[in-house]
Structure 1
Amino acid sequence: MRAIVVSTPGDSSALEYTEVPDPVPGPGEVLIDVAASGVNFIDVYHRMGRYQLPLPFTPGSEGAGTVAAVGPDVTGVSVGDKMGWVNIPGGYAERAVIRADRLIPIPDAISPEAAASVMLQGLTAQYLTHSTYEIRPGDDVLVHAGAGGMGQLLIQVAKLRGARVITTVSTAEKEKIAREAGADHVLRYDGFAEAVKEITGAGVHVVYDGVGAATFEGSLASLRPRGVLALYGAASGPVPPFDPQRLNPLGSLFLTRPSLHHYILTREELLSRAEMVFGWLAEGRIRVNVFRRYPLAEARQAHDDLEARRTTGKLLLIP
């Protein structure tokens, strides 16, 4: 089969499209014919070596497809079932082997491609808004990068929770996309903290920041007393070392660096979060804007587009 393999960390040229042996499921494992795999910044971090995986490896932290074979000791999964997965590398390939207890059944009303579009970003939006900081009706929320795939989902889910949503974007085109997602106020990055305070008076209850270094200081300045900064990513680079004492004079703020892994530790939690996201999708309460579908062989281009911020929605690789 064909797959993307990283043998040495580096820029997008490290993504090698090559022939590899067909995988075989072992005990407790399932072989999936991949229909689509999502492209996310965590894949870039893996490729660069910022988050290290054993070499060589096939990147891709989410995907969906159809069961092609089941290994020994697997129950409740049959050939032909539609399944998805998240937080497991190996999606940039024509086939992937996934542990059966980490597979997520895909409802009949949702295609594997649609499911692949919400595995990582949809579950992330769910846990950020329901667990990291449980949004209440009337809360003020700041979402950075509102025109990206993650930002658009966060805006939509925050609105489902009854929040007033402020977001940041870099261009007029991206402002239009963020407003279509439901944002109440759309700001440019320059001076956004002052604008947030003008809109809200006291500041927002929570900031969802996946940008990192470039927005961190402004995110802190945008919070009201006892507000929460959920720093869930670092698209612009990691935040420099930080003295937690600074949180005190800024209003006894809360700072957390969450990751999806710790919010789907059990199978029950994984399935309950996925069920909620699939429900929203099937009912039309959220929509996914797929910016572009790339052939698997064009994974380098997908990474280049993502890193250059040329995208305004979800990126998918199609084997």
Structure 2
Amino acid sequence: MQIPHLDSNAPVCVAALYRFAPFEDFASLRAPLLALCNREGIRGTLLLAHEGINGTIAGSREGIGKVLEHIRALPGCEDLDVKLSGASVMPFHRMKVRLKREIVTMGEPGIDPLASVGTYVEPQDWNALIADPGTIVIDTRNDYEVAVGTFERAIDPRTETFRDFPAWFRAERERLLGTGTPPKVAMFCTGGIRCEKSTAFLKQEGIGEVYHLKGGILKYLETVPEEESLWHGECFVFDQRVTIGHGLVEGSYGLCHACRRPVSEEDRASPHYEEGVSCPACHAERTDEQRASYRERHKQEMLAAGRGEEHVGAHYAVPQEAEQADDAAG
């Protein structure tokens, strides 16, 4: 499979992908997929479940092409959703293929995006929908993602994980939608996968007019010119690029390696920021003993880097979605 030419200054090809598909024996798919990725020098995380596949991988264009060809040959994956972008360096340390109960964790039984889902809206039609005062616009991502950037008029649920979204909606439903005829509801996420489930959830809750951005923020930033954009800020991604902007260029944020949240220039100026150890968001969440451990880990990483080696032995504490690659595509 041929991969379209990306930015010539970005030597690494990054593919965010997902597909809801009924895998009868998803565990049997793991070993061949992992072997292919390792053989082609691909790194990243892929999740397999009964409901399909989700993840983000990176490597050479040729290698990524072979992996995508393999996935598209799996049952129900002919129309695999893929967003391609570039990276200046490899954004992942290793390759993981994990078996999960869900490829994006919502925790709501009976949600099936293959049976019922919201209306897809193409990126070029999204501005008109969310500018309509009769439309409620909801950002389905988590608080640390929304803080980096979002669309005009978007409501921030201030959720810490995607599991929190159903309870938030049920608690806020009457305030958001009123008691009469419900307004249109437009939702968006990074690559589309969370909206597949969130729109299916709203349909199950009896909301009729539910829409979501096809291809997610990534497709919007790729295709809508910046001068026409209603997006403000940058978009958090679950890899070492941290954020991307219009045209899918790498953003300006760093990453806190204690909590995996984005770190701005202002955050770096905080007395609670210590590279590799803490940031303003997580300083109060960690003990002195934990910070001492992170400090030693960071020291070992710097020593390894000085020797031209890659230090990947330490376990990083990560938000739920990052650990599960929940928003690798979504």
- TM superposition score normalised by structure 1: 0.34
- TM superposition score normalised by structure 2: 0.33
Where is the strand percentage greater, Structure 1 or Structure 2? 1
